[in-house]
Structure 1
Amino acid sequence: MAANQVLPSKEQTLFRHVVQNYESKQYKKGLKAAEQILRKHPNHGDTQAMKALILSSQGKSEEAFELCKLALKNAMKSQVCWHVYGLLYRGQRNYEEALKAYRFALRLDPDSSQIQRDLAMLQVQMRDYEGYVQSRRTMLQARPQHRQNWTALAIALQMSGDLAGAEDVLQKYEESMRQTPNRNDMEHAEAVLYKNTIIAERGEMERALEHVDSVAKMALDKTAVMEMRAQYLLALDRNDGAVEAYTKLLRRNPEHREYYEGLEKAMGLDRSKTEDHQKLGEMYHGWAEQSDRVDAPRRLPLDFKTGDAFRQHADKYLRRMLKKGVPSTFANLKQLYSDPEKKETIRELVEGYLSEQPQANGGAERSEPNGSADGSHATKSKAQDSATTWELSVNYFLAQHYDYHLSRDLSKARKYIDRAIELKPSETDYTYHMTRARVLKHAGNVTEASKAMNEAMEMDLKDRYINTKCAKYQLRNNQHDDAVATMGLFTRKEAVGGPLGDLLDMQCVWYITEDGEAYLRQGNLGLALKRFKAVFDVFVTWEDDQFDFHSFSLRKGMVRAYVDMLRWEDRLREHPFFTRAALSAIGVYCLLFDQPQLAKGGAANGEGAEGAAERKKAAKKAKREAEKAEAERKAAAAKKATPAKKDEDGEVKKEDADPQGVELLKTAGEKPLEEAMKWVEPLLEMSPRSVEGQFAGFEVYIRRKKYLPALKCLLAVYSTDPEHPKCHEQGCRLRLALEKLDESLPEKVKQIIESEFLQKFIPKGSVEENNEEYLAKHKDSALHVHGVVRVRQALHPDGSGGVKEKSAQDLQQTLGSEGTNLTQAEEGLRLLNEGLGADGKAREAYVAKARERWPEAAVFRVS
């Protein structure tokens, strides 16, 4: 191995400056100093490695790797070169190679605290807790005087499952302390509470209670101490103490619902037992009487009361809230609508209020002084205001009631919200106009909904909430430019890439997802994939952001929050927005596999196209537009004479080399199923009970001819929702795939499929016979009919045997079913257009019937 050169004293000083310049992000100075050394000593490995690290920080990754490899060639035994090599790989998120490089560097310099620290951070990032424990033990032995080394080892042991070891480490440090910590010592206060959580995790509640009582005075987070005591007392069945503990917590925060639940358990009351309802009612009445402002003790009894008791309490609660004009009243009660009886009771009560008027003095007991004319006028005005507030609140509540999916009647919702708007509340109160837009959206009139929401936004241009709502509705109407302009009211004006660039930098996941779905509706697969990839990258960034907190949290002593963060990161990809983006992206990749020509710029949306000729024409048009955009990009790049744009930190911002997603689409078209697996694996791992996620996994695996994983996805759905329409569809498709195998399966695979699938879930007879029998049982359900139609398509992909005509007729009949909603009707139209390639007459008949039921829905309008 090549040995590293020893620099003269002058160059050694320069080298130290290179390191300092890198650490302080003075990259230009660092490069200049490195070049100065390399002019005299061109093969000095450490200097080459540091130069490579600076180049990497400037975004020149390829050049940095080449230079670092040269540095290793010149100084194979240099721990600096191997350490830098690991840092470069870490920057590329190649953690396995980074780990190897760190370990080799540590072998060369076992006493390096910096390399050891970087290795430990990488181990916890990768969740290599066994290695992390070992690294932390080594760091503790090297510097036992630092408390964070003890705490870090305790965390490592806890996360590896050794709770007893974690507690022992914390106990030993406390015993080694020579003086009592200051009462304002945040690090110590957090450490003692952290130790208490470990004791509780071990299940030793008695000892956890004793410990929390002993450290209560030195703990700075008093609320956490009180919550811990209450939980431990409840777990130990010390109900008197638990009642007292939860009572104290409720006095601090009477709106915290979990405290009421704890108090109920401590008092031995059970909501499911009718005999306990009276005592529960008395308990909540007592808390409600303590303050006129508190809502929770007035609202919570509605969850368990039934019959006349529910009606009386609901009447009292509704009158109080509507009289005050609280706009969130419906939002606070809608969870009760899962009970049909309660839903009907609320409707009857509120509709009965329409003919009522509140008390003439608005509930006030005092009259104006001296009985003057002015006082009389003020009383009259107040009564009028009270009457208006009452009528406005009642109409607004009913508008939301009839707009809600469990009680939907959009014609009534429109009537009530129009009446609320007529009462003319404040000219800057957009609440009622926003609800009107929501009603229009549910009617399928996305164009008018977008206009209405824009009118609501213009009532208060300084409100970020209505601004984002407006942008969302504009995206639902495929108004990309308008949505960007709307969001631009609250983005940084100097942001590189304009408002959209700022939204991407700010990781505005909801907007990126909505934008991608809008492009997908229009068949623009390139930009749709580009947006979904941006969402994927955001989650990768959130995962990488842990790196800074591995050291920061220990340095600041906030260990409980740090442990919570680690556990949250472990479940990061079960986030609803990741699931939503994943399902859409997987759908695109499956489409690219089924129709490879789409990767060349073809349109994916056959909606409105009649026959293959129209679809071909649309594909050519999309391809021309993509080629034009690409040519414009290249021309702009060729003319580029202006200096590169920089962000607020002075760092050069990379220009988007593929603004239309053309190259991304081409790359995805080469290996679409491999790209889809990047989404499928975390989706199935993090959300195993997601029915839609399992269905998406099946679609990818069946195309990859991975029949056991496909079966696993299908069985996962059978275990949670065996009656789901997709179970029948995908079960039939799996059976068809197994019947048409090119090569026989291995014997073990055959046995598993035979025992777990064919014998348990497949009825006797052919797939076609079973499919038609299934249709006869579920002919009134649109979702079930859609599944039947897709199975027919798999059986007869060429449309033989009158399948197209029969399926078109079955789809049309679903429109007459009361259970069919607008979303299902739109899916039927998509299936008619894309899956069946139906003729113009069948489509016109379907659209005409759908328009009778949903006259405002834009998708069924005649263009």
Structure 2
Amino acid sequence: MPQQLSAKEQSLFRTVVRNYEDKQYKKGVKAADQILRKNPKHGDTLAMKALIMNSQGKTDEAFALAKVALQCDMKSHVCWHVYGLLYRAVKNFEEAIKAYKFALRLEPDSAQIQRDLALLQIQMRDYQGYIVSRRAMLTARSTLRQSWTALAVAHHLNGELAEAERVLTAYEDTLKHPPPKSDFENSEAVMYKNSLIAEQGDIPKALEHLESAGKYNLDKLAVLELRATYLAKLDRKEEAAKAYRALLDRNSEYKKYYDGLIEAMEIDPQDIKLRKAVYDGYAEKYPRCDAARRLPLDFLHGDDFQEAASGYIRRMLDKGVPSTFANLKHLYSDSSKKEVLPSLVQQYIDSDKSSANEEPKRNGDTSKGASAAYYFLAQHYNYYLSRDLDKAMEYIERAIELEPESVDFHMTKARIWKHYGDTQSASEVMEQARALDTRDRHINTKAAKYQLRNDDSEAAIKTMGLFTRAETVGGPLADLHDMQCVWFLTEDGQSYVRQGKIGLALKRFTSIYNIFDVWQEDQFDFHSFSLRKGQIRAYVEMMRWEDHLREHPFYSRAALSAVDVYIKIHDKPLMNGTNGVGNGDAEDAAERKKAAKKARKEAQKAERELAAKRAEPNKPTTPGSDDPKKKDDDPDGAKLAATTEPMNDAMKFLTPLLQFSPKSIDVQIAGFEVYIRRRKYLLALKCLLAAYALDKEHSKVHEQIVRFKLALDEDSEILPPKSAEVIKSEFTLLPACVDLSKYNDEYLSKHKDCARRTLSTLKVRKLLKPDSASAIEKEVAGIVKLPTITMGEAIEALELLTLWKSSEAEGFRTEAAAKWPKATIFATKA
């Protein structure tokens, strides 16, 4: 039985609770100890002390004390609630929910416990449980609009749209007086209800609701857009056209409005003149409108296109608009337009229009048109669909000669050097561009990125430090971590991979993984905030975005890089466990033994320091010191790189990729590589079949089909009978009795002009015929002579020859250097 407290001690207990809420942890511990001296088994006090200790960073001691509290009073809702809070603090949401539910059984009327339980249920996407919790909270506080809205959102997220709409309607029926027109929360609720009706497919009802309840809504743009959309869907074309014209009068640059208007006017897509007339009308009505002049270029052809493009280009070049090429480069997918555009720019230059233009130049600079034209042509010849880097460099030099202070021109010159393969010159020119405008964060980040591409990590950190907080402990890199600067961490990690500093690379990729975890956890605060502020539509949109968070390209790029590093560690263990790649010789064994010994010593030292820290008495703390900065015990990634189970570590990155990016062939290829090494043949086959469905002619897919067949033949005896049966029925990419060499040769003959696919067939040939290694290496070296080979493919071939320690590597490097003389990667190493 729990001990009863006297009136004085009950007052003291309330003080403990208040001290915890005010973050006065030392005072709280002192008051709790005062109670426990007379009542050592008072569960609630023990639980509150545990909660305070957890806030002080003493997590292990807090859990131990919370268990003692439960032993003293198993029927205390406070003890169970605190136990749930402790689990929530360590992100163990499943156990926290169990503890909350037990606490709620003991105290069904506790609004705080009910609210904490509901927040965890929505965080874990337990929609059924969330509906139950929200219904109970609504019953307790039925006059609060937030309770009704939250229940509607719960039904919505669970797919029960009609029920969600019914809940909102029920609340509206309880109102004795209509809310004022300036009520933001009501305005959002009306638009949310309208979206629920529309999602159910009842467009007539949605339009009726919008025109009645949403007539005076505060989000006027959303009302106009929805009204136009609904009218178009209901085939009320004349009204829809009028609605879209009203939208275009608000924003004449939005392509979606033009498309909606043309559809509402029932203009045949093949009737080019009528479509063009719509755009011409708005170009005349709004002389400064760009979209009305640019969008017709998408559907015009022949002389009509040339006339419209000429007018558009002259207008933009006269003004010296730097984004002219960026606005038009999507047209390059049409080969005829790709030829017309640069010829029009050349005509502009030849006609000397730039010196006799009709429109005034910015700052009265008469060279603006000429420099803009040269800039356009430089970008044209730098673009991958029309690349001629020598011409690109020639034109950008002319542009810079006319405007030597232009940041844009220098940035494009740096990109040209990048495409040449000269990362050093690219970095230097981008630094020159940065020096022209030191207050521009964009060019600052570009300069840092190019420095990382040149593997100059120290210079990149220094450059980024110009825009980070000087007072941050740990310098610019620590601030970039705090700001979750994912692009920098990714580029830095890939740079360290190229430098062979595997530990630091894994450190960066793991940081990105953790940042995405933080983004996942950060939504927790918005479950209550968004409902409290009435931002329901934004909240639902955020929830759907969070459900697919790891589809983001930022995560995919970092995760695939990390998986690739772990595969290399598995195939060729590191020599020293931190930064640097082993050579696989016998002498590495001694080095690895030393590294393992060093790692053990460091781990033991860290454990001793942690034990000593825990044994220390509570020291006086200064305000704000209750949450000390966690010290990084692996700053160089030594422990990450010294992993003994690289494939298990790779799975941490790979699992979300396979779950959220199944349509990415790179993800499926990476999945196969991991599973085949783990001898998980069913899962490897699943990835292989998915990759084959995406691109059956992909070079890696061909290579993996053969490797899978070889692995099956090698491990056929140890395969479980059921697995072997499933694989036999599903693996139909090769005939049962196929000659792999012949199959490989057929693939090569089909793709003999493609360097990357040729490379894959030669890798497969070496697997099938290891005795012919010398001849195969010569064939790999001969790939450089293929007329269609790209620099990227040549780099892959060089990396393969280097991996094989082939004597052909240097000869290949020499020939590649002759073909790409400016590419630094082919330069002979000193």
Given residue 822 of structure 1, which amino acid in structure 2 is its aligned partner?
M
Q: Take 1:813 and 1:645, find their aligned partners in 2: how far apart are those partners?
A: 70
For residues 176 and 454 of structure 2, the distance between their equivalents in structure 1, rounded to whole angstroms, comes to 68
Q: Distance in 1 between matches of 2:481 and 2:397?
A: 38
Unaligned runs of 5+ in 1: 366-381
Q: Which residue of 2 aligns with 1:772?
A: 745
CA distance 1:107–1:599, shift in 2 (3 Å):
farther
**What one-letter code is carried by the residue in structure 1 that aligns with 2:224?**
M
Matched, 1:247 2:236: no
Aligned pairs for 1:676-825 within 5 A? 676-741=650-715, 743-758=717-732, 760-762=733-735, 765-795=738-768, 800-803=770-773, 805-825=774-794
What's 2:314 paired with?
A: 319
Map 1:577-616 onto structure 2 (within 5 A). 577-597=554-574, 600-601=577-578, 603-604=580-581
Instruction: Tell me what 1:476 maps to.
Output: 453
SS at 1:502 equivalent: helix
The letter of the residue matching 1:123 is: Q
Deviation per residue, 1:448-472 (Å, 9 max, x gap): 1111111111111111111111111
CA gap of 1:493–1:220, structure 2 versus 1, over 3 A, is: same
Q: Classify the secondary structure of the residue corresponding to 1:216.
A: coil
1:388-787 equivalence runs, <5 A: 388-425=367-404, 427=405, 429-597=406-574, 600-601=577-578, 603-604=580-581, 651-666=627-642, 669-741=643-715, 743-758=717-732, 760-762=733-735, 765-787=738-760
5 Å matches for 1:157-176?
157-176=155-174
Aligned: 1:236 with 2:210: no
Q: Deviations over 1:511-548 (max 9, x none)?
A: 11111111111121111111111101111100101110
Q: CA deviation at 1:859?
A: 0.8
**Residue-by-residue CA offset, 1:493-512 (whole Å, 9 max, x unaligned):** 11121111111011111111
Root mean square deviation of aligned Cα: 3.0
What is the distance in 2 between the residues matched to 1:711 and 1:124?
35
Q: Are the equivalent residues in 2 in contact too, given 1:246–1:263 (CA < 8 A)?
A: yes
Contact 1:148 1:554 in 2 (8 A): yes
Per-residue CA deviation, residues 376-429 of structure 1 (Å, 9 max, x unaligned), is: xxxxxx79955411110111111111111111111111111111111134x3x3
Q: Which amino acid aligns with 2:394?
A: K
Which of 299, 302, 310 is equivalent to 2:305? 310
Between the aligned partners of 2:17 and 2:189, the Cα distance in structure 1 is 35
Could you tell me which residue of structure 2 aligns to residue 332 of structure 1?
Answer: 327
The letter for the 1-side match of 2:749 is A
For the residues of structure 2 that align with 1:34 and 1:593, how far apart are their CA atoms?
53
Structure 1 residue 141, shift from structure 2 partner: 1.0
The corresponding residue for 1:837 is 805
Instruction: Write out per-residue CA displacement over residues 768-823 of structure 1, whole angstroms, 9 at most, x where no aligned residue.
Output: 22222322322221210222233234435xxx3222x2332232232223332222
Q: Would you say the 8 A contact 1:646–1:652 is kept in 2? A: no
- Counterpart residue number, 2:28: 30
SS at match of 1:315: helix
The answer as to 2:108 corresponding to 1:94 is no
Write the deviation string for residues 55-106 of structure 1: whole angstroms up to 9, x where unpaired: 2223222222122122222222111111111121122221211111111111
What is aligned with 2:190? 192
Tell me, what secondary structure is at the counterpart of 2:697?
Answer: coil
Residues 769 and 653 from structure 1, CA distance in 2 versus in 1: closer, same or farther, beyond 3 angstroms? same
Aligned pair 1:855/2:813, yes or no? no
CA spacing shift, 1:735–1:285, aligned 2, 3 Å: same
Counterpart-to-counterpart distance in 2, 1:446 and 1:45 = 66
Contact persistence 1:230–1:246 (CA under 8 A): yes
Return the TM-score normalized by structure 2: 0.94
Offset of 1:725 from its aligned partner? Answer: 1.3
Q: Distance in 1 between matches of 2:588 and 2:793?
A: 27
User: Deviation at 1:434?
Assistant: 1.1
**Secondary structure, counterpart of 2:367 in structure 1:** helix
- The residue that corresponds to 1:846 in the other structure is 812
How many angstroms apart in 1 are the aligned matches of 2:429 and 2:144? 61
- In 2 relative to 1, CA 406–547 (structure 1 residues): closer, same or farther, beyond 3 Å? same
CA–CA distance in structure 2, aligned partners of residues 730 and 645 of structure 1: 60
The total of aligned residue pairs comes to 823
* Structure 1 segment 47-62 matched on structure 2, within 5 A: 47-62=45-60
Contact in 1 for aligned 2:574/2:581 (Cα 8 Å): no
* Map of 2:272 onto structure 1: 277
CA distance in 2, matches of 1:386, 1:545: 51
Could you tell me whether the CA contact under 8 Å between 1:323 and 1:386 is conserved in 2? no
2:383 is aligned with what amino acid? Y
Instruction: Give the alignment partner of residue 284 of structure 2, picking from 286, 289, 292.
Output: 289
Taking the aligned partners of 1:645 and 1:781, their CA distance within structure 2 comes to 67
Structure 2 Cα separation of the partners of residues 250 and 119 of structure 1 = 47
Alignment of 1:342-353 (within 5 A): 342-353=337-348
> Do the aligned partners of residues 782 and 13 (structure 1) sit closer, same or farther apart at CA in structure 2, a change above 3 Å counting?
farther
Could you tell me whether the CA contact under 8 Å between 1:516 and 1:528 is conserved in 2? yes
Shift of 1:358: 1.7
Q: 2: CA distance between counterparts of 1:620 and 1:418? A: 53
1:673-716 CA-partner distances (Å, limit 9, x unpaired): 22222222211111111111111111111112222221221222
Provide, for residues 600-626 of structure 1, a one-character-per-residue CA deviation record: whole Å limited to 9, x for no partner.
Answer: 3473387xxxx969x969988996999
Pairwise CA distance, 1:645: 12
Q: What pairs up with 1:190-229 in 2 under 5 angstroms?
A: 190-229=188-227
Name the amino acid aligned to 2:647: L
Partners of 2:551 and 2:286 in 1: CA distance: 40
1 CA distance for matches of 2:446 and 2:736?
49
Distance 2:789 2:622 in 1: 53
Tell me, yes or no, if the aligned pair for 1:358 and 1:387 is still in contact at 8 Å: no
Q: What amino acid sits opposite 1:781 in the alignment?
A: C
Segment of structure 1 superposing worse, 304-313 or 643-652 = 643-652
Task: Provide the identity percentage.
Answer: 52
Q: Give yes or no for contact 1:644–1:652 (8 Å, CA) kept in 2.
A: no
Q: Tell me which stretches of 4 or more aligned residues in structure 1 moved more than 4 Å.
A: 382-387, 615-631, 637-640, 643-650, 760-764
Alpha-carbon separation, structure 1, partners of 2:507 and 2:168: 48
Q: Tell me what 2:616 maps to.
A: none
CA contact (8 A) 1:698 1:713 kept: yes
Call closer, same or farther: CA 1:385–1:216 in 2, change over 3 Å.
same
The equivalent of 2:177 in structure 1 is 179
Q: Structure 1 residue 718: deviation in Å?
A: 2.0
Compared CA separation, residues 736 and 316, structure 1 to 2 (3 A)? same
CA shift in 2, pair 1:268/1:102, >3 Å: same
Residues 164-212 of structure 1 show CA distances to partners (whole Å, capped at 9, x for unaligned) of 1001000111011111111111111110110000000000001000000
Rounded to whole Å, the distance in 2 between the matches of 1:337 and 1:475 is 31
